[in-house]
């Protein structure tokens, strides 16, 4: 080795390649070891033992999907399972490395709350608006362009953008923003924003309160947070992002609904309000800068608490900081999470109303109804194994079948609720319904296809011309001059294999497939 170090630059390159190959070998070996540890329990289920007398991690996915999980994803799952107070961890088919815990995981605890397995985009969610507009009305690209332009006048896209960037948005001032954050989709909030009151019943949760069940507690905390002028100004600037998409993987898509050819699921879809062969609109976004600020503030506060108290981070990872739910730190986190979640809920409802108004500008008289709104970055207290526990879903979505106690008294009690599962604009998205088998995953499924390429690798390896032409070949247009390479369909897992994982694991069945006709992303407006 000394001789190599003292040699000419060429041999230094050989040494570098040798070291890189050794690192790759160790990484591959670690992945192989993790996969060898899996105990296969079904065609799309497995368990990963973690030792220390803990129940194993549940892994959902067919063999090709499981093979896509890297060693770091498995290690984060193990770290999460061994963290204080955690009783269960599930890896879904879209699992990949996240903030402390993997994206695409479920983490359950009867006593503790973890900000990491919720993430910085609190209550990032999916929603679906169904219209009675037949597919034939948007076959022509010019008509789709007109709708895109109408939406662009009302709904901004991109990080940091808000109402001031578009001429036909809703005006949200400080008092209304305060009400949104503390009340969620209350009748008063919906009336002020011109959103149908009936849509609240189509939300997974229309509003969130403080842990004591009070709105007043949230109001007192928000008032305290805005006591200083600069903080109040920042809050109000975030309020003005209400009714907007962010960047990254956030999107809006016009879809054509194709109901299942199986009569039971077809009838179920019709009962929910889906219309075969008609246009629907699928949205993915969250709590924007408002939720991000709350989440980052809590991460800083909890890390400071750990450091000042001399507590050790689980597996030495500060991103797995936590608090007991009934501690002062835990109560503050739950309050802040609730306000971020309230903002996300109303953000989605307002976007859907603005999108409906946009379609009506081009197609006067069409009707539209919200099918469902469902989140995938939230901690909720739910019954698991006979007791109430905090179910953290990070990039995972709720999946409650018909007859589940949490659906009692809702319109979905006898059917189960819709599960909105985005794939990609080329290969489509899915609407599913949970089955009893979802109990194995804490009544959760994946929130989408999951990445197979990092953003950096996608930008480096995918060809822009191929991406854009591929979408055009599938009759999909967008608001972007060039489609974001890091959001290209090939940056994501094979959606067919992901759906196969869900169905073969017995978690859910498909009710309808969605085919994209146009996409709104964070990008430059397209030419007319």
**Residues flagged as binding site for Mn(2+):** 121, 250, 284, 376
Q: In angstroms, how far is CA 396 from the centroid of its own chain?
A: 7
The sign of the torsion formed by the CA atoms of 195, 393, 518, 522 equals positive
| Cβ partners under 8 Å of residue 468, min gap 6 | 482, 483
Residue identified by tokens 């999108």 is 355
96: annotated active-site residue: no
- The total of other beta-carbon atoms located within 10 Å of residue 6's CB is 9
**Residue 251 burial (CB < 10 Å; 0-12/13-18/19+)?**
buried
CA–CA gap between residue 489 and residue 467 (Å, rounded): 8
Question: Do 329 and 302 meet the contact criterion of CB atoms below 8 Å apart?
Answer: yes
Residue identified by tokens 């999946």 is 399
- CB burial string 187-198: b at 16+ within 10 A, e below: eebbeebebbee
Question: Do 508 and 445 meet the contact criterion of CB atoms below 8 Å apart?
Answer: yes
Question: 96, 292, 404, 447: which one is catalytic?
Answer: 447
How many secondary structure helices (H) and strands (E) does the chain include?
Answer: 15, 19
H or E element in which residue 174 lies? helix 174-183
Angle ∠(286,319,209) on CA atoms, nearest 5: 45
Which residues belong to the annotated binding site for GMP? 249-253, 376-377, 429, 447-450, 521
CA–CA gap between residue 276 and residue 274 (Å, rounded): 7
Read off the tokens for 281.
């609109």
CA–CA gap between residue 297 and residue 337 (Å, rounded): 11
Question: Do 380 and 176 meet the contact criterion of CB atoms below 8 Å apart?
Answer: no
Residue identified by tokens 């659906």 is 407
Residues marked active site are found at 447
């Amino acid at each position: 080795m000394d001789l190599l170090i003292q040699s000419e630059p060429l041999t230094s390159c050989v040494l570098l390649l040798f070291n890189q190959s050794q690192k790759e070998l160790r990484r591959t070996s670690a992945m192989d070891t993790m996969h060898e540890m899996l105990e296969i329990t079904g065609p799309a289920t497995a368990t990963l033992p973690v030792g220390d007398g803990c129940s194993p991690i549940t892994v959902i996915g067919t063999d090709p999907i499981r093979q896509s999980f890297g060693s770091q994803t498995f290690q984060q799952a193990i770290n999460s399972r061994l963290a204080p107070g955690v009783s269960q961890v599930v890896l879904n088919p879209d699992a990949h490395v996240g903030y402390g815990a993997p994206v695409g995981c479920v983490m359950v605890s009867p006593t503790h709350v973890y900000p990491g397995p919720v993430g910085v985009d609190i209550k990032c969610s999916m929603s679906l608006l169904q219209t009675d507009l037949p597919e034939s009305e948007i076959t022509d690209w010019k008509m789709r362009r007109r709708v895109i332009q109408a939406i662009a006048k009302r709904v901004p896209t991109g990080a940091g953008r808000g109402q001031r960037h578009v001429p036909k948005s809703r005006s949200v001032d400080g008092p209304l923003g305060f009400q949104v954050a503390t009340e969620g989709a209350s009748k008063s909030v919906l009336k002020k924003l011109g959103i149908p009151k009936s849509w609240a019943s189509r939300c997974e949760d229309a509003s969130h309160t403080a842990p004591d069940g009070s709105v007043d507690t949230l109001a007192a905390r928000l008032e305290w947070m805005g006591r200083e002028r600069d903080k109040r100004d920042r809050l109000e600037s975030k309020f003005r992002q209400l009714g907007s998409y962010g960047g990254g993987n956030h999107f809006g898509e016009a879809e054509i609904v194709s109901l299942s050819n199986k009569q039971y699921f077809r009838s179920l879809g019709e009962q929910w309000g889906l219309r075969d062969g008609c246009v629907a609109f699928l949205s993915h976004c969250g709590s924007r800068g408002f939720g991000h600020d709350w989440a980052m503030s809590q991460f800083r506060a909890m890390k400071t608490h750990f450091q000042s108290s001399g507590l050790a981070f689980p597996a030495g990872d500060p991103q797995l900081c936590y608090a007991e739910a009934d501690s002062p730190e835990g109560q503050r986190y739950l309050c802040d999470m609730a306000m971020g979640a309230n903002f996300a809920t109303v953000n989605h409802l307002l976007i859907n109303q603005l999108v409906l108004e946009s379609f009506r500008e081009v197609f006067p008289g069409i009707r539209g109804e919200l099918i469902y709104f469902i989140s995938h970055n939230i901690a909720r207290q739910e019954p698991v194994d006979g007791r109430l526990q905090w179910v953290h879903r990070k990039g995972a979505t709720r999946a409650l079948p018909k007859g589940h106690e949490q659906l009692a008294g809702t319109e979905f009690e006898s059917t189960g609720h819709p599960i909105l599962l985005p794939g990609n604009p080329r290969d489509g998205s899915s609407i599913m319904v949970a089955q009893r088998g979802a109990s194995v995953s804490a009544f959760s499924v994946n929130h989408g296809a999951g990445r197979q390429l990092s953003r950096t690798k996608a930008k480096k390896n995918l060809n822009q011309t191929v991406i854009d032409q591929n979408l055009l070949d599938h009759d999909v247009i967008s608001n972007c001059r060039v489609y974001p390479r890091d959001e290209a369909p090939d940056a994501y897992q094979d959606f067919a294999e992901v759906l196969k994982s869900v169905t073969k694991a017995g978690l859910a069945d498909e009710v309808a497939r969605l085919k994209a006709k146009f996409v709104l992303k964070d990008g430059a407006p397209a030419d007319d």
